[in-house]
């Protein structure tokens, strides 16, 4: 089936759903979603629209360094194809199964984000199907406001079907240099110096413990004396604490966190044991396996009334980072903590102007907290973190639980602008409202 035929079919399904006027439909892609499974979500209560066919790479123009991809294409497939031509998307989320459409609609950052921002910052054009089944092309020239508001809309404005994105020249290997530092002050000033000089292709960091800060600096290289792999027995995140230097093939570098889903394997008994990995790795390792398993285990989690672990990315304005970290070390105390410097091209238009003023700058620090146990009946760490992020003028991504009440939520997101886009793209609210989609009552 051609791309246009697939889109026509999707538009017809959306029109049919719109005529039924029921609950917002769920879209079933070929790959596993990367929203933290919610034990309290009602299962199968929503009609499903199958969009699994929209997962192909349409074209790569190596001269112009531009690719055109269907929205359900995974980054693993996209990167394999672009690397054959010596190119790479400007931002490659680290998990293999994240899709091009999901990265635009949610949030996506990685070690090149200090230079290029989120994945959507390197996108040139979107094709979408609206809530009335209309097919539209959005670009910074044609429909700037709608184009920019698609990022961070989490599927509540339109269904993305095609994305045109910029590519950049890549080399076959990445050389890693690990700078091990003992205090936050040393770590912070060295990371800032590299960001200011832009003297590395890739910058991220792992705080392994209160006294173990590892700055991970990566550079493209044409040749490597060896190439390490972390898709089997060895654990990438642990290697950064032991080695001072390493080499990875560029594809393996892009997805270096995938096998452990960063370090979520550490939350599963024995999954970091080499024998268990050898015997059962193919069923349990990798972000797709791990997220699928946590989806299956939603029921038991609910039965034992255990809160899910804290799994979330929060963006902290760089100038408030020292304050955030002092609080984090004292009151939150969970390691490893993943740190990714992230420069927005401009303050995003979906941010409420008053909150944008509090945010106050375009350099953010993504702090990714993956797997803090949250079983204390008296203290919900997810709420605690959310409050701190708000106090510091930061933004919490919506990949997991949201506790903000409606007024606080809309003091962060720009309700007026989003409503304007909604009136054009989804006038009958087929895709649901952003606050309602993540309302706290959905998590109880
Ligand atoms: C454990 C974990 C680890 C993560 N690690 C990273 C990381 O290392 N780097 C990184 O950049 N990001 C990371 N993320 C965040 C991830 O990039 C976002 O959650 C992203 O939105 C997931 O994309 P997906 O393709 O899996 O989409 P889904 O999870 O299926 O959907 C995410 C949201 O986007 C909407 N959406 C998806 N596709 C479309 C479409 N075609 N049109 C309209 N709306 C759509 C959905 O409705 C949903 O609200 C992580 C998330 C989790 C849960």
Tell whether ligand 1 has an atom less than 6 A from the beta carbon of residue 93: yes
User: Is residue 398 lining ligand 1, measured as CB closer than 6 Å?
Assistant: no
CB of residue 95 inside a 6 A radius of ligand 1? yes
pLDDT tens per residue, range 117-156:
999 999 999 999 999 999 999 999 999 999 999 999 999 9
Q: What's the 33 CA to ligand 1 centre distance in angstroms?
A: 6
Would you say 67 and 57 are in contact if contact means Cβ atoms under 8 Å apart?
Answer: yes
Classified as helix, coil or strand, 366 is strand
CA distances from 140 to 133, 134, 136, 148 (A): 22, 19, 13, 7
Ligand 1 atom, smallest distance to 264 CA: 1
How many angstroms separate the CA atoms of 170 and 44, rounded? 43
Among 440, 438, 436, smallest CA distance to 426 is for 436
pLDDT for res 304: 64
Q: Which atom of ligand 1 is nearest to 54's Cα?
A: 41
- Give the pLDDT score at 424: 97
**Nearest one of 29, 395, 93 to 261, comparing CA atoms:** 93
Domain boundaries, the chain: 3-169
Burial letters 90-121, b for 16+ CB under 10 A, else e: bbbbbbbbbbbbbbbbbbbbbbbbbbbbbbbb
Distance CA 55, CA 47 (A): 21
Three-class secondary structure of residue 382 per DSSP: helix
Q: How far is the CA of 399 from the centre of ligand 1 (A)?
A: 7
Ligand 1 in contact with 102 (CB < 6 A)? yes
Beta strand pairing call for 202-209 and 135-138? unpaired
Residues 167-195 pLDDT 10s: 999 999 999 999 999 999 999 999 999 99
Is 131 a pocket residue for ligand 1 (Cβ < 6 Å)? no
Does residue 160's CB lie within 6 angstroms of at least one atom of ligand 1?
A: yes
421 Cα–ligand 1 center, Å? 21
Confidence at residue 442, expressed as pLDDT on a 0 to 100 scale: 77
Q: Is residue 143 within 6 Å of ligand 1 at its C-beta?
A: no
- Placement of tokens 């349409």 in the chain: 58
Q: What was the pLDDT predicted at 23? A: 77
* Cα of 105 from ligand 1 centre, angstroms: 7
The Å distance, Cα 34 to ligand 1 centre, comes to 5
What distance in angstroms lies between residue 235's CA and the mean position of ligand 1's atoms?
24
Given CA atoms 388, 392, 393, 398 in this order, what sign does their dihedral have? negative
Q: Which residues of the chain have pLDDT under 70?
A: 41-45, 301-305, 443-444
pLDDT at 19: 81
Tokens of 439: 């309302």
pLDDT score recorded for residue 43:
60
Asked if residues 56 and 79 have their Cβ atoms less than 8 Å apart, the reply is no
pTM of the model: 0.95
* Closest of 261, 264, 269 to residue 286, by C-alpha: 261
Separation in Å, CA 131 to CA 3, 187, 192, 284, 428? 19, 47, 44, 37, 7
pLDDT value, residue 52 = 92
What distance in angstroms lies between residue 135's CA and the mean position of ligand 1's atoms? 23
Question: Which residues are 364's β-sheet partners?
Answer: 317, 342
CA–CA dist 420, 145 (Å, integer): 9
List the one residue out of 283, 218, 286, 230 whose CA is nearest residue 256: 230
* Ligand 1 pocket residue status of 89, Cβ below 6 Å: no
Output the six-digit token pair for 357: 């003023």
Task: Answer whether 98 contacts ligand 1 (Cβ < 6 A).
Answer: yes
The 10 Å Cβ neighbour count of residue 148 is 19
| Cα–Cα separations (whole angstroms), residue 65 to 100, 102, 121, 147, 169 | 17, 22, 15, 21, 8
Rounded distance from Cα 64 to ligand 1 centre (Å): 28
**Class of the 3-169 domain?**
alpha beta
């Amino acid at each position: 089936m051609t791309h246009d035929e697939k889109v026509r079919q999707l538009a017809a399904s959306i029109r049919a759903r719109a005529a039924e006027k029921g609950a917002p439909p769920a879209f079933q892609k070929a790959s596993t979603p990367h929203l933290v499974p919610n034990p309290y979500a009602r299962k199968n209560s929503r009609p499903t629209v199958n969009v699994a066919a929209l997962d192909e790479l349409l074209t790569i123009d190596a001269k112009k360094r531009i690719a055109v991809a269907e929205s359900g294409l995974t980054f693993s497939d996209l990167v394999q194809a672009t690397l054959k031509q010596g190119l790479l998307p400007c931002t490659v989320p680290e998990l293999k199964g994240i899709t091009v459409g999901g990265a635009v609609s949610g949030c996506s950052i990685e070690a090149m984000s200090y230079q290029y921002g989120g994945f959507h910052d390197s996108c040139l054009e979107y094709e979408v199907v609206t809530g009335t089944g209309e097919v539209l092309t959005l670009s910074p020239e044609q429909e700037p406001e709608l184009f920019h508001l698609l990022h961070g809309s989490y599927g509540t404005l339109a269904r993305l079907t095609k994305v045109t994105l910029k590519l950049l020249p890549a080399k076959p290997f990445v050389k890693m240099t690990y700078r091990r530092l003992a205090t936050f002050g040393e770590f912070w000033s060295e990371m800032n110096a590299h960001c200011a000089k832009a003297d590395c292709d890739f910058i991220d960091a792992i705080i392994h413990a209160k006294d173990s800060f590892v700055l991970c600096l990566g550079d493209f290289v044409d040749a490597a004396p060896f190439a390490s792999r972390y898709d089997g027995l060895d654990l990438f995140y642990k290697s950064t604490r032991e080695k001072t230097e390493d080499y990875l093939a560029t594809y393996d570098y892009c997805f270096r966190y995938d096998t452990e889903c960063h370090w979520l394997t550490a939350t599963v008994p024995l999954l970091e044991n080499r024998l268990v990995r050898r015997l059962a790795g193919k069923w349990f390792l990798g972000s797709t396996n791990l997220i699928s398993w946590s989806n299956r285990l939603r029921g038991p989690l609910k039965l034992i009334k255990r809160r899910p672990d804290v799994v979330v990315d929060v963006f902290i304005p760089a100038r408030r980072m020292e304050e955030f970290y002092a609080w984090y070390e004292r009151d939150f105390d969970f390691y490893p903590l993943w740190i990714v410097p992230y420069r927005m091209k401009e303050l995003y238009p979906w941010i409420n102007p008053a909150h944008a003023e509090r945010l106050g700058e375009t350099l953010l620090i993504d702090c990714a907290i993956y797997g803090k146990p949250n079983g204390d009946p008296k203290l919900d760490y997810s709420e605690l973190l959310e409050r701190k992020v708000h106090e510091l003028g930061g933004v919490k991504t919506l990949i997991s639980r949201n506790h903000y009440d409606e007024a606080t939520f809309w003091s962060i997101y720009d309700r007026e602008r989003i409503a304007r886009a909604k009136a054009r793209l989804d006038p009958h609210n087929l895709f649901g409202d952003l606050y309602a989609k993540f309302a706290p009552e959905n998590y109880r």
